[in-house]
Structure 1
């Protein structure tokens, strides 16, 4: 398989100017550049620009996917939508990073898995993930916690990290980890969040509170009248200069009072979460093995009940004198052997098998197959 890298950048809060598009053309002559996007796929070589600097300067979201296991999502949000102190508890190792510019907060979420499955030609796009940006802007911290879980699982695989994650504290646990939104589910898949680890984490997650009712004129009018004139002038100026897609949300937050994200204090260590996930994974596998064993026992019991028909099928396969039919006969015989053993009738099976071998001793191909499968 040849090298594959897909880069996608999206400008959401404002379109790129013609001058900015020309600047980006210097980064790549082959990229598809529009007023809101920069997209390119490489089968050799690499992007000459620095993705972090490109997001800082031009874009609000960035996705990078490679066929050697890189999954990377970067997001840029206005500082007033999400602040660094809120994000910092979720930053872990090099997989979840955050920093600020003069006007924005930036997130860099990465998962590397060289052994991960790769589907060539898959539709790698920001479309399924971009919704988490709006969720973060409105105070939903579940995407950050999902990124922390992804980083934690990756960190566990490092040989020198065990002592550190024994004491690494869990960040604040957001509400609703047991009922993710569609963009959050897509993010969990993209960052390869372990299902058992997520389920263990969700045990401490409170329910999502009900959304506030849609505001009415009667509610908003007195709140707007009470706003300081200077603040109203600033908002009107921003509206006139627009567009700002989240300006309405920001205004409502100011009028109604900014509601703090619904979280509970993290009370577990990283090691405790990993242990809980391991326990759940072990129990789930044991249940699956038990179910398989029960289904197998039921199948063998049913086969013994149809033993006469099975012996007839075996004789019919042998009578064709075809090698493929011999293989089918031997496979069915092996199943019958297990069925007779399961019901404590080993002696009956050996007697039937002896008669079959004696009747077909001049068929060396069949006898050889019986011997190879221990049907002596």
Structure 2
């Protein structure tokens, strides 16, 4: 199979102006570039830009894949919507990393599997996954937990992925709703190659997802009661082209902070999660064999 690499960047909160588009055009004359999207594919050679720097300066979401087994995602959010200290709880170097740059936080998610069969159409994945960015902004930490779990799941495929003593690493806070993922979260889990049995293992300690606070009347009443200074500031930001970001921040304030009750539950270790996944897998295979024999 010939070499194949695919790069995609999305500007979600604010489109790039002409000067910014010219700057990214200087990184690749072959790329398809609009005010909100940058895409390019390579069958030989490589991209001359630095995806990390492009995310820090211009874009809110990034997907990269290569047919030798690399899958990578990055999301940039305002630091007011996702704190670095929270994101770092879910980091698994080198599979999940996070850092701040100016007013933003960037999370970088990676999955590497050598020799895996190429999946046609994988380059269309970002459209299905990008919704997790808004979910993170709303305080839903399931995408980060899924990435953490997928990172440690590498151990099931590669026994040398981590040192043996790391099996006692405790899991981060378990968010509610792991048993009922959203469509973007399912797409994220698939892209990061999260094993279904490992997810089922983790979901055993996850409470049901709370109902989303979306009552239009309650929202209207909340907006009405905002101080006039806050309203002026928000409208000014909208007029300056930051409407998408204002929406995220307002909905986060309206809905309040996410439920942190899961922080008080006992933390399982990586080894316990992997062992439970192995037991679930064995049971599933046995039941499948019984059904086939009937």
TM-score (norm 2): 0.92
Flag the 1:170–1:62 CA change in 2: closer, same or farther, 3 A.
Answer: same
Cα offset, 1:45, TM superposition: 0.6
- Determine whether 1:163 maps to 2:161: no
**Equivalent runs, 1:260-275 vs 2, <5 Å:** 260-262=258-260, 264-265=262-263, 267-275=267-275
Conserved in 2, the CA contact under 8 Å of 1:93 and 1:155? no
- Note closer, same or farther for the CA distance 1:160–1:188 as it changes in structure 2 (3 Å cut): closer
Distance of 1:216 and 1:246 partners within structure 2? 22
Deviation at residue 244 of structure 1 after TM alignment: 2.2
Aligned to 1:72: 72
Deviation of 1:239 after TM superposition, in Å, equals 2.4
| Change in 2 beyond 3 A, CA 1:42/1:16 | same
Q: Which has the higher contact order (CA 8 A, sep 6+)?
A: 2
Q: Distance in 1 between matches of 2:211 and 2:200?
A: 22
Matched, 1:145 2:145: yes
Segment drifting more, 180-189 vs 263-272:
263-272
Matched residue SS, 1:76: strand
Moved more, 259-268 or 215-224: 215-224
Name the counterpart of 2:225.
223
1:238 is matched with which residue? 237
What is the aligned length?
290
Q: How far apart in 1 are the matches of 2:129 and 2:138?
A: 16
Tell me, in whole angstroms, the C-alpha distance in 2 between the residues paired with 1:88 and 1:205. Answer: 20
Q: Name the SS of the counterpart of 1:63 in structure 2.
A: strand
Cα distance in 1, alignment partners of residues 111 and 175 from structure 2: 21
Instruction: Tell me the distance in 2 between the aligned counterparts of 1:110 and 1:70.
Output: 7
- Secondary structure, counterpart of 1:216 in structure 2: helix
Aligned partners of 1:9 and 1:59 also within 8 Å: yes
Cα deviation 1:107-155 (Å, max 9, x = unaligned): 1001001132213565534111111111111011111111011100114
Residue 335 of structure 1 corresponds to none
Measured at CA, do residues 257 and 21 of structure 1 come closer, stay the same or move farther in structure 2, by a change above 3 Å?
closer
Q: Can you list the C-alpha shifts for 1:248-295, whole angstroms capped at 9, x where unaligned?
A: 3422443x4722345513510011000100111111112222333x33
Residues 79 and 221 of structure 1: CA distance in aligned 2, closer, same or farther (over 3 Å) = closer
- Larger CA deviation: 196-205 vs 108-117: 108-117
Question: TM-score scaled to structure 1, two decimals?
Answer: 0.73
> What is the match of residue 186 of structure 1?
187
1:258 pairs with 235, 244, 256, which one? 256
Q: Deviations over 1:287-342 (max 9, x none)?
A: 222333x33xxxxxxxxxxxxxxxxxxxxxxxxxxxxxxxxxxxxxxxxxxxxxxx
Larger radius of gyration: 1
Question: CA RMSD of the aligned region, Å?
Answer: 2.0
| Counterpart check, 1:17 vs 2:17 | yes
Query: Which consecutive residues of structure 1, in runs of 5 or more, have no partner in the other structure?
Result: 296-376
Q: How far off its partner does 1:213 sit?
A: 4.5
